[in-house]
Structures are given as structure tokens and as C-alpha cells.
């Protein structure tokens, strides 16, 4: 039996991570409802999942729109009968956020990642938690990069945004853990297979006059194994956290940074 057999998962975000999570959940037997802003990308992901006989439905959705998220969640419950897993994988462009000293950053640019990430995660977590409490079970999963713990320079409001996500994860567990709702945060390094790592290099690496290879090597050297978190390592862990095997995990951060962060 597959690890997520008979489970229903809603995934927000059609980028590299959202796509990989949706595919991994579907491979393990979950019925996946994937949302994002790009119709063509959603169709391509769905075609790949369906070609492997996975179960997936897609919808164009703005995860910052509470009414739209609530409507989609209600439609999902009506169609599938329940919601077992919620994974929010939204992201934002880093231009105008990273690579700028705090004293040179506008208030709007500093607050943009904090308000965007927290608004979206609160909306999607709230929509899932309400239904999961009624069911008596479910898990809400999110992912944060190492910068939320390391606080490197010139990343603007990203550090407090990611730190706040971990705080929300704990709060969800404190309030709803006794009602069967779990919340888990997956902590990673930058992930080489995602577009974000190249975008960050474009901002940070080029500003310091180093090549992408030098930037990548510098980040790898900060880990114990001299390798960054791989996308499959993230998806494998997400599957475990979402499965019944991960039932004791809640209100916690799973550290996948290979020693970059010691907790």
C-alpha cells in the first residue's frame, strides 16, 4: 500500500517546490488538488501526474485571496469528502528585496515578504485547520530556508518572514494538536533544482563578483556533508510527515540542512 493512499492533499503554488510536492504526493497515492497562478504550468504538471496514473485536479488561484481559498477548499471538501494534507509552497521574486542593506530598503520592500508569506500561510492554514478540526485529523506543512535561522546580511524582510512561518507552525499545533491537527515545518538549505537559488545568485553573487559555481560551492561548504538539500530529500520528508508514520510530528521543525543549521 502506498504511504498516502486514500489521502486528500491541497498544494498551493505551481513553482519548482509546489510541483515536486504535488507529484510526490500523487505517486504515494494521494488525491492532489494543486493550485497556482499559471494555467499552462498547472496543465503541464497535471499531465505528468496523470501519465503516471496519479490523481490530480488543478485550479488557478491566488493564495492571498481568502474568499478564493475558502471557496476552493469548500469545493475540494464537496468533491473529495475531506482534507488530510495542506502544503503551502508559494514564493515571491527576490528582486528589490535581497541585495539591499536594511538602511537603504524601503518600508514597503521590507514588509512585502513578511505580509505576503504570512497572509498566504495564515489564510491557507486557517481554511485547512477549520475543516481538519471538524474531521478530527489532518496535517499542515510548510517549508522555510536556512536563512530564517542564520540571518545572513542583505536579505531584507525574508528572515523575519520565514521565522514568522515557524512561529505560525508552533501556534497551530498548540491550539489544534489536541484536536488531531498537526503542523510541521521543513527547514532546508537553498535547493539546487529550484529557480530561487539562481535568482539569489543573480542578486548576491554577482554583486560580490563571484561565479555561480563559486556561490554554490560557498553554500555547500557551510554544510557538514558539503551538499545542499536536494529536492527529492524535501519531497521524501514531506511524504513522511504527511503520512500516518509521521503521526508524532507536530509543532516542530524538521531540519534538512545537513548541518548548516545546528538545533
Q: Which domains does the chain have, with CATH numbers?
A: 8-255 (3.40.50.720)
CA distances for 234 relative to 36, 61, 106, 185, angstroms: 20, 24, 33, 11
Pairing label, strands 181-188, 85-88: unpaired
State the pLDDT at residue 56.
98
- CA dist., res. 32 & res. 96, Å (int): 34
pLDDT-based confidence at residue 96 (cuts at 50, 70, 90): confident
pLDDT-based confidence at residue 207 (cuts at 50, 70, 90): low
Does residue 208 register a pLDDT over 80? Answer: no
- CA dist., res. 89 & res. 30, Å (int): 17
pLDDT tens per residue across span 142-186: 999 998 998 888 889 999 999 999 999 999 999 999 999 999 999
State the pLDDT at residue 216.
78
Contacts of 167 (CB under 8 A, 6+ apart): none
- CA dist., res. 187 & res. 116, Å (int): 19
Pairing label, strands 55-60, 85-88: unpaired
State the pLDDT at residue 202.
74
pLDDT averaged over every residue in the chain: 94
pLDDT-based confidence at residue 206 (cuts at 50, 70, 90): low
pLDDT tens per residue across span 56-68: 999 999 999 999 9
Look at 125 and 196; give whichever has higher pLDDT: 125
98: which 3 cell numbers?
535581497
Helix (H) or strand (E) holding 184: strand 181-188
pLDDT tens per residue across span 121-133: 999 999 999 999 9
Q: In angstroms, how far is the first alpha carbon of the chain from the final one?
A: 34
- CA dist., res. 50 & res. 173, Å (int): 34
Does residue 22 register a pLDDT over 70? Answer: yes
Amino acid at each position: 500500500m502506498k504511504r498516502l493512499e486514500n489521502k486528500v492533499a491541497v498544494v498551493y503554488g505551481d513553482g519548482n517546490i509546489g510541483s515536486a510536492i504535488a507529484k510526490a504526493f500523487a505517486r504515494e497515492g494521494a488525491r492532489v488538488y494543486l493550485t497556482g497562478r499559471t494555467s499552462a504550468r498547472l496543465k503541464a504538471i497535471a499531465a505528468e501526474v496523470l501519465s503516471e496514473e496519479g490523481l490530480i485536479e488543478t485550479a488557478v488561484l491566488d493564495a492571498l485571496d481568502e474568499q478564493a481559498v475558502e471557496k476552493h477548499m469548500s469545493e475540494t471538501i464537496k468533491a473529495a469528502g475531506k482534507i488530510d494534507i495542506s502544503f503551502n509552497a508559494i514564493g515571491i521574486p527576490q528582486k528589490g528585496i535581497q541585495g539591499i542593506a536594511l538602511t537603504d530598503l524601503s518600508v514597503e520592500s521590507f514588509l512585502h515578504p513578511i505580509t505576503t508569506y504570512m497572509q498566504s500561510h495564515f489564510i491557507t492554514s486557517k481554511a485547512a485547520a477549520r475543516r481538519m478540526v471538524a474531521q478530527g485529523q489532518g496535517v499542515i506543512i510548510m517549508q522555510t530556508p536556512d536563512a530564517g535561522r542564520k540571518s545572513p546580511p542583505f536579505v531584507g524582510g525574508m528572515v523575519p518572514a520565514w521565522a514568522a512561518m515557524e512561529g505560525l507552525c508552533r501556534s497551530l499545533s498548540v491550539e489544534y494538536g489536541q484536536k488531531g491537527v498537526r503542523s510541521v515545518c521543513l527547514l532546508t538549505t537553498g535547493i539546487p533544482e529550484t529557480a530561487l537559488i539562481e535568482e539569489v545568485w543573480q542578486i548576491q553573487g554577482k554583486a560580490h563578483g563571484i561565479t555561480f559555481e563559486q556561490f554554490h560551492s560557498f553554500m555547500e561548504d557551510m554544510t557538514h556533508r558539503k551538499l545542499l538539500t536536494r529536492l527529492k530529500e524535501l519531497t521524501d520528508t514531506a511524504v513522511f510527515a504527511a503520512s500516518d508514520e509521521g503521526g508524532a510530528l507536530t509543532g516542530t521543525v524538521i531540519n534538512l540542512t545537513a548541518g548548516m543549521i545546528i538545533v
